[in-house]
Amino acid sequence: MARNKKRSSGRGSKGQRGKHSISQHGPPENIRNSILDVFKRKPGKLLNHKQVSSALGILNHDVRRLIMELLNEMAQQEKLEDMGRGKYKLNVKQLESAEGTIQITKFGRGFVLMPNGNEIKLDKGATGTAFWGDTVLVEWASFGRKTVPFVSKVTKRMREVYVVIIEQIKDYGFGHPTDPKLHDSFFIPPQNLNGSIDGDKVLIEMVSWDRNDDSPVGNVTRVLGQEGDNDVEMHAILAEFSLPLEFPQEVHDEAATFTPSSESGGLDPVEISKRHDMRGTLTMTIDPVDAKDFDDALSIKKLKNGNWEIGVHIADVCHYVKPGSAIDKEAIYRATSVYLVDRTIPMLPEILSNDLCSLRPNEDKYAFSVVFEMNEKAEVVQEWFGRTVIHSDRRFVYEEAQERLETGKGDYAEELQTFFKLASQLRDTRYKNGGIDFNTEEVRFELDEDGKPLRVKIKRMKEANKLIEDFMLLANARVARFLAKVHPEKNIPTRTSVYRIHDTPDPDKVRALRTFVGRLGYEMSKPNKGNSKSLIRDLLLLTKGTPIEETVKIMAIKSMAKAEYNTENIGHYGLAFPYYTHFTSPIRRYPDVLVHRLLQQYLDGEKDANRDELDIRCHHSGIMEKRAAEAERASIKYKQVEFLMTRIGETFQGIVSGAVPRGMFIEIKENKCEGFVPKEAFPNDHWVFDEDRLGFEAMRSSKLIALGDEVKVRVASADLLKRQLEFEIIVK
């Protein structure tokens, strides 16, 4: 009786189910559209009303009867064809083409993702002249009783250039794409080789692709060089993700009009007179040892009332980069600096990023500042925003600052410890409000003069790193709130701004995360309204210091939404800030430039900003941010493979970082290099994939190897072209 009662209350009465289905699929016209979507997703099948209802998740008998009537009605309208015995199929003649983004498997089958979230499956041979990521038009053709979708037209190419390796045959060649997602090679006629030879890695443009049973024709636009050369490979990665290799000539020309700080004779006295002069306040920067640009600084002063004046000073990029200039247009396009393993591809020319806008020690510099008066509890008593001129008294690297925090000795040790005391309280408050610590371990390569990796070091966040981060987060949050001009009663923004938003996790993904950690022996509270903000934070605290800490952290990140730029504010879930933006890095992020301009605009009392224009900038910045992150990961993966190429056959301790039916991913503990172990390479047993426990079980020995387990592996192979490592598991 108890089980029946529970099942009944979980699914609801018939009336409740019907109400849910109607609300989910809307009025009849929306149901018609949903019905058509079902047929589009299953174009080769004849469907009856029960199958359509099941595909829509409808259980209510009355709504199913309605669908039966709608199928008949849609057949009379010739949107569907009545095939008899209650079965229907799409009427191709009445069916409008659909546009979406295509993905193509290595076996030639396609999946077109539609803007409404639906997916159209394509048979092998039906992908037309499309490559993975292209925007395509899908139409339907009828062959007897079967209706099939096919790509009729490519409306937009994802790439303007392709990275390929030349295979020269007599006087012509083929270009084999380095991206494994691209399923076809290019034919390159003799006149299009343009000096490239066998083995060269080159950039090509697509000249034509008329038939899907022919190869696309390419033209070499740039020869990068021979495969395996470090510069060639890094340039290829940039091109692969459609990132710029160099600045246009007009940007170089405009940058040449700036006078380097060493030759300028100091800042303009007239400009200084317009700013708050803070050169007399102790100011310092804290950055990595290999940093070339210093875009943020901290100042500190004890006030007579016992409080602290803390200044967060950010390079005033907007003083130099004016709207509409060549440099500004290029910065809009780039949107972000790109950080590969061995180089930085800056958003701004070097004279700005590394000189005029860099807050270097013992130099007067223009800044945009947020100055806080804080009490001993790190509570903000007052705040001020505005343009300043500052003088950095000391450049610290993280290791120097960390030493002073630990020992209390050295120059400015007392000031650094005050910074840390206040920052720690800011962090504690953020965590109490539900903020999450997402800092993960990162790898850093030591390279020789040719770019070959010698060693891999693991970068870990220490107190000195966190100190800077906490004050930058505070500045971003307070600037965001000022820009929004929050209504005191309604608690809503009254001005247009650019926000860095982070949505709450998808409930289904949180439930999956809870199930996952449960398999590892950790109990995660059941999600509800009361614990939604702290749920993931509490999980990370629970697993901190355990062997699976990094694995759980990565899975938690995957369960969450991605942060993005937007003019509509929903707050930042991960940081537990109701208002948040990016103000602190205008040298390397264009949204920060937008925020600086907005801040000055609103400080000057000017009218509200143009939301449509800001929306365009936010969307583009998000696209470029994603590309930059993918390029960075690709460069790390390349160096990992290159590093282990010389260590084939060596054994390491690793952690199972992923499991799929075809095998497992293993991350080496000492260097975080990740490789794949195919199922057929598992040793001495019959291994079966266990989806529930995310691992493989040996049928004879009953041994289980699952996510988070520590295993011993041998490096079996390293493929630089594919950036893939293959390991063997050693089971005792």
pLDDT per residue over 389-444, tens digit each?
A: 999 999 999 999 999 999 999 999 999 999 999 999 999 999 888 888 877 778 88
DSSP-assigned letter for residue 608: P
Q: Region 42-50: what's the mean pLDDT?
A: 79
70: nearest Cα among 47, 46, 49: 49
- How deeply is 234 buried, as exposed, middle or buried, from its count of CB atoms within 10 A (0-12, 13-18, 19+)? buried
With a threshold of 0.85, does the pTM exceed it? Answer: no
Rounded to the nearest integer, the mean pLDDT of the chain is: 88
pLDDT per residue over 579-622, tens digit each?
A: 999 999 999 999 999 999 999 999 999 999 999 999 999 999 99
Q: How confident is the model at residue 679 (pLDDT cuts 50, 70, 90)?
A: confident
What 3 state SS string does 598-610 have?
HHHHHHCCCCCCC
Lowest mean pLDDT among 54-68, 471-485, 555-569: 54-68
Cβ atoms of 137 and 155 within 8 Å: the answer is yes
| pLDDT given at position 322 | 97
How far is the C-alpha of 610 from the C-alpha of 284, rounded, in Å? 36
Q: How confident is the model at residue 24 (pLDDT cuts 50, 70, 90)?
A: very low
694: nearest Cα among 550, 546, 441, 512: 512
Cβ atoms of 697 and 687 within 8 Å: the answer is yes
How far is the C-alpha of 34 from the C-alpha of 38, rounded, in Å? 6
Q: Region 58-71: what's the mean pLDDT?
A: 86
Provide the pairing of β-strand 380-391 with 276-277: parallel
Q: Region 508-519: what's the mean pLDDT?
A: 80
Query: Nearest 10 degrees: CA dihedral of 112, 113, 116, 118?
Result: 70
In CATH, the architecture of 2-93 is Orthogonal Bundle (1.10)
How far is the C-alpha of 404 from the C-alpha of 675, rounded, in Å? 39
262: nearest Cα among 344, 362, 348, 347: 362
pLDDT per residue over 291-333, tens digit each?
A: 878 999 999 999 999 999 999 999 999 999 999 999 999 999 9
Provide the pairing of β-strand 724-730 with 663-668: unpaired
Q: Specify the CATH superfamily of domain 96-156.
A: Nucleic acid-binding proteins (2.40.50.140)
219: nearest Cα among 203, 230, 231: 203
Cα-Cα end-to-end distance for the chain: 50
The topology (CATH level 3) of 647-730 is: OB fold (Dihydrolipoamide Acetyltransferase, E2P) (2.40.50)
| pLDDT given at position 6 | 34
> 253 or 711, which is more confident?
253
How far is the C-alpha of 523 from the C-alpha of 423, rounded, in Å? 31
Tallying the residues shown for the chain, one arrives at: 732
Q: Hey, where are the domains in the chain?
A: 2-93, 96-156, 162-227, 499-641, 647-730
Q: How confident is the model at residue 65 (pLDDT cuts 50, 70, 90)?
A: confident
Both tokens of 419, joined, read 């910074």
Q: How confident is the model at residue 94 (pLDDT cuts 50, 70, 90)?
A: low
| pLDDT given at position 532 | 65
User: DSSP per residue over 660-711, as a string?
Assistant: ETTEEEEEETTT--EEEEEGGGS-SS-EEEETTTTEEEETTT--EEETT-EE
pLDDT per residue over 641-654, tens digit each?
A: 999 999 999 999 99
| pLDDT given at position 17 | 35
- Residue 2, pLDDT > 80, answer no
Q: Region 559-576: what's the mean pLDDT?
A: 92
How far is the C-alpha of 583 from the C-alpha of 221, rounded, in Å? 39
Asked if CATH classification 3.40.50.300 holds for the domain at 162-227, the reply, yes or no, is: no
Provide the pairing of β-strand 695-698 with 564-566: unpaired
Q: How far is CA 556 from the centre of its chain?
A: 15
Two domains, one topology: 96-156 and 647-730: yes
| pLDDT given at position 504 | 85
Provide the pairing of β-strand 87-90 with 364-374: unpaired
- Residue 576, pLDDT > 80, answer yes
